[in-house]
Amino acid sequence: MALHVMEEASRCLGCKKPRCQEGCPIHTNIPEVIRLLKANRLNEAGWMLFENNPLTTVCALVCNHEKQCEGHCVRGIKDAPVHFSVIESYISSTYANQMVKGPAPSNGRKAAVIGAGPAGITIAIILARYGYRMTIFDSRDKIGGVLRYGIPDFRLPDSVLDDLAYRHLELKGIQFRPNTYIGSAITIDDLFRDGYQSVFVGAGLWKPRKLNIRGESLGHVTYAINYLASPGAFRLGERIMVIGTGNSAMDCARTAIRHGARFVSCVNLTDTLTASQYESSYARLEGVDFIYNKCTMEIREDGVILADSRTDADGKITPIPGTEKLYPCTGVIIAVSQGAESNLVKSTRDIDTGRSGLLTVDEDGHTSRPGVFAAGDATSGARTVVEAVANSKRVAEAMHAYMQALPLPQTTDYPDAPTVTAVEASAQAEQII
């Protein structure tokens, strides 16, 4: 592994105008990282990666490199590009073991993060570096959000996220409150009441987008976001039809194969896949079939009715009457994107949303309510992990500036309240028992 990494690093030309860095949404200084590695200064390279991108171990595995850093590499014009993903993964995973530094000194302020996905984790880490006491709230039992519950383990192992939780959250003193849905028993108003000076909303997109066709509620049908969260819970048989051809659809198809499906097909409206070439090529390699230029008309107990599609002059795709045909299958996974949940917004005053339910923010993540910020999928729709990190870095700085302009919070004193010692509390507990 190390030899392969060094061979790949030696292929870097060290361009004066690094197109790879320009193609990276978070502008990782790729030439300098590679230079440090080649000079046997791995720890410095690792520090640079994590300072720029707290989720570098994740991005090294799940980024769309072919359209970002590697897709802009000069070598890729006539040859294979420098595969920085391999280099980044080696450096970040090796250096992560050196990250044992504890929390920064407290600055007397605290902030809340709703959602333990890429955006929320990034916000918490950056603000913790400034000394804020951070608490992350999430409706799930572990951190990661879409990283853990929307990306298969064969692409992003849970061990990477578990190590991230330890290195970045536990060691930095960031508190994580699992199984807590903000907008139900606890609201954003409650957070401000309890002394959080700002709140970040990074709840993500967990509401499946429907096809709105007959048969969508049948027992052998599910949505991608639900399937990927716990594929072992479903019994969809050996012939699976996936409606959609994005990266999420590829994840579903490949996961289904790993859970016993023998025949998996993905249905596409046009003749062009929306998934990356990297993801679709692996799906093909593993035996996934593709059905092009079809509209999904109806789901039945024994299969799916598809019709030929046509694209009008205005770009609208419609079915061609009389071309309907039943395609037999035992299970159906609908993978046509997700939308935003609405309970959080409904339970909070003065937060504006757009027509699609996404939060309305300015370029620095301010919502219409002072002190409430947002970024990631909750504001822009489904985007890549590295884009969420890049946006969240900017929003974290805006939150820092906002809180620094506020007076330090005052604690409520109860001078007459007696202090119960640990010994007294133990004695009282024994009496109760």
The predicted-structure confidence for 27-78, as pLDDT tens digits, reads as follows 999 999 999 999 999 999 999 999 999 999 999 999 989 889 999 999 999 8
Looking at residue 71, the DSSP 8-state letter turns out to be: G
Per-residue pLDDT averaged across 248-254, rounded?
96
The per-residue pLDDT for 423 is 65
**Among the ranges given (193-207, 210-224, 255-269, 331-345), the one the predictor scored with the smallest mean pLDDT:** 331-345
Query: Does 343 score more than 70 pLDDT?
Result: no
Sign of CA dihedral 47, 72, 383, 280: negative
Query: Does 314 score more than 90 pLDDT?
Result: no
If you compute the radius of gyration of the chain from its CA atoms, what whole number of angstroms results? Answer: 24
Sign of CA dihedral 180, 182, 188, 190: negative
HSE-CB of 350 using CA atoms within 13 angstroms: 10
Alpha helix positions (H), 178-268:
188-193, 224-229, 247-258
- pLDDT tens for 98-133 read 887 788 999 999 999 999 999 999 999 999 999 999
Q: Delineate the domains of the chain, giving CATH numbers in brackets.
A: 2-98 (1.10.1060.10), 110-206+339-404 (3.50.50.60), 210-335 (3.50.50.60)
Per-residue pLDDT averaged across 326-352, rounded?
81
User: How far, in Å, CA of 385 to CA of 393, rounded?
Assistant: 13
- pLDDT tens for 356-376 read 678 889 999 999 999 999 988
Query: Does 412 score more than 80 pLDDT?
Result: no
* Cβ-contact 176, 124 below 8 angstroms: no
The per-residue pLDDT for 415 is 63
- pLDDT tens for 142-169 read 999 999 999 999 999 999 999 999 988 8
* Cβ-contact 336, 209 below 8 angstroms: yes
Q: Assign 355 a pLDDT band (cuts: 50, 70, 90).
A: low
Q: Assign 384 a pLDDT band (cuts: 50, 70, 90).
A: confident
Q: Mean pLDDT across the chain, nearest whole number?
A: 90
Helix pair angle (30-38, 2-10), 10° resolution: 120
Residue 30 CA, distance from chain mean position = 23
Whole-structure pTM value: 0.90
User: How far, in Å, CA of 206 to CA of 248, rounded?
Assistant: 13
Q: Assign 185 a pLDDT band (cuts: 50, 70, 90).
A: confident
Per-residue pLDDT averaged across 300-307, rounded?
97
The per-residue pLDDT for 107 is 96
What residues contact 426, with CB distance under 8 A and at least 6 apart?
none
Per-residue pLDDT averaged across 4-18, rounded?
93
Question: How is residue 217 written in tokens?
Answer: 């509620």
Helix pair angle (30-38, 42-52), 10° resolution: 160
- pLDDT tens for 39-48 read 999 999 999 9
Which amino acid does the sequence have at 381? G
User: How far, in Å, CA of 260 to CA of 314, rounded?
Assistant: 42
Q: Which of 22, 45, 50, 43 is nearest to 35 (CA)?
A: 45
The per-residue pLDDT for 307 is 97
Helix (H) or strand (E) holding 311: strand 303-311
Instruction: Name the 3-class secondary structure at 416.
Output: coil
